[in-house]
């Protein structure tokens, strides 16, 4: 059984944990918000239902008033409804004709019963709506507290993710540096271009072979997709060598440049 190298895999563990925390937090927050929105939608539907019931009440009240007025005119009686101190209509169940009480018509009685029923239903639904509103207020407070906690967890997850990626990237750079040094010591990679003699850097990159892989011997200005930009001839070699020598008057540096150019593999070997 192979036991993984903990220091080597710790940064990957941090990246995994950080990613899972962030995904979990966003998923949980989405579920909570969706649940709350559904409850708000239910509350709004209930509120709309009560509004419709109130509109029905008003229409029924107008219809009752109209019929009661017609009945009063027909029977030569008094008004069909009174109003108490709470501004609530109290319907009289009788009309008076010549001072003698007379029962109201069945159609008017039916309208009054329907009105009373709808009014009671609206009152019950209104109380239910108040309870739902109080519950929504509590849910909203809990949701806000949960979202604050989720934000903290997302920050923690982001820290884990950042540390993990940073460590991973640094470790990879160290590995690449060690590999590069190993190749240099074996002579498979060079610190400077083996055609023009200039040092490799972030600006002077490695050239590319035909298959697209990096060529660690020649720079991207001399070697492009498996081919040299300039033909191999003595005139070109002398030109780039003299150009390099003219950059300094220091004798030691000039001797170093001469040795470098005398050992460039493109000009030293017949393979290129």
Q: Give the model's pLDDT for residue 73.
A: 66
Give how far the C-alpha of residue 149 lies from the chain's centroid of Cα atoms, to the nearest Å.
Answer: 17
Confidence of residue 27 (pLDDT cuts 50, 70, 90): very high
User: Does the pLDDT of residue 127 top 80, yes or no?
Assistant: yes
Mean model confidence pLDDT for the chain:
77
Q: Give the model's pLDDT for residue 72.
A: 63
Q: Please answer whether residues 141 and 135 qualify as being in contact, where contact means their C-beta atoms are separated by less than 8 angstroms.
A: no
Q: Using CA atoms, how far apart are residues 170 and 172, in angstroms rounded to an integer? A: 5
Give percent of the chain with pLDDT exceeding 90: 9
- Tell me what the mean pLDDT of segment 145-159 comes to: 91
Minimum mean pLDDT among 85-94, 127-136, 230-239: which range? 85-94
**pLDDT 10s digits, 46-75:** 888 878 877 877 787 777 777 767 766 665
Q: Give the model's pLDDT for residue 54.
A: 79
User: Does the pLDDT of residue 160 top 50, yes or no?
Assistant: yes
| 222 CB burial (10 A radius; 0-12, 13-18, 19+) | buried
**pLDDT 10s digits, 85-115:** 343 444 444 444 455 445 555 566 677 777 7
- Tell me what the mean pLDDT of segment 224-246 comes to: 87
User: Does the pLDDT of residue 1 top 50, yes or no?
Assistant: no
Q: Give the model's pLDDT for residue 76.
A: 59
User: Does the pLDDT of residue 136 top 80, yes or no?
Assistant: yes
Q: Give the model's pLDDT for residue 174.
A: 66
């Amino acid at each position: 059984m192979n036991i993984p190298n903990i220091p080597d895999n710790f940064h990957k563990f941090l990246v995994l944990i950080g990613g899972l925390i962030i995904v979990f937090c966003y998923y949980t927050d989405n579920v909570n918000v969706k649940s709350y929105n559904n409850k708000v939608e239910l509350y709004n539907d209930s509120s709309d239902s009560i509004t419709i019931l109130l509109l029905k009440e008003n229409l029924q009240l107008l219809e009752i008033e109209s019929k009661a007025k017609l009945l009063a005119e027909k029977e030569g009686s008094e008004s069909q409804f009174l109003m108490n101190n709470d501004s609530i209509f109290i319907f009289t169940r009788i009309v008076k004709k010549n001072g003698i009480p007379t029962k109201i018509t069945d159609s008017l009685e039916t309208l009054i019963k329907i009105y009373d029923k709808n009014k009671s239903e609206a009152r019950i639904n209104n109380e239910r709506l108040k309870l739902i509103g109080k519950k929504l207020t509590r849910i909203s407070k809990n949701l806000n507290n949960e979202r604050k906690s989720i934000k903290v967890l997302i920050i923690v997850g982001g820290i884990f993710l950042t540390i993990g990626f940073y460590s991973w990237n640094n470790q990879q750079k160290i590995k690449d540096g060690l590999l590069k040094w190993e190749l240099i010591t074996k002579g498979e990679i060079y610190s400077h271009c083996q055609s023009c003699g200039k040092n490799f850097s972030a600006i002077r990159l490695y050239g590319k072979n035909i298959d697209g892989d990096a060529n660690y011997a020649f720079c991207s200005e001399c070697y492009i997709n498996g081919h040299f930009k300039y033909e191999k001839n003595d005139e070109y070699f002398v030109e780039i060598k003299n150009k390099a020598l003219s950059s300094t008057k220091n004798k030691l540096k000039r001797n170093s440049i001469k040795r470098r150019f005398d050992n460039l593999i493109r000009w030293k070997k017949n393979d290129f």
